[in-house]
Amino acid sequence: MTREELIKNIKSKQSFLCVGLDSDIKKLPAHLLSEPNSIFAFNKAIIDATAPYAVAYKPNMAFYESLGAQGWTALEETVSYIQNNYPDQFIIADAKRGDIGNTSTLYARSFFEHLGVDAITVAPYMGQDSVSPFLGYDSKWVVLLSLTSNKGSHDFQLTEDKNGKRLFENVIETSQQWASDKEMMYVVGATQGKMFADIRKIAP
* Cα(50)–Cα(129) distance, integer angstroms: 37
CA distances 126 to 76, 131, 199, 202, Å, are 29, 8, 21, 21
Instruction: Name beta bridge partners: 184.
Output: 142
At residue 129's C-alpha, the angle toward residues 123 and 130, to 5°, is 25
- Positions marked active-site: 96
Asked if 142 and 185 touch (Cβ cutoff 8 Å), the reply is yes
* Cα(33)–Cα(17) distance, integer angstroms: 28
* Cα(77)–Cα(3) distance, integer angstroms: 25
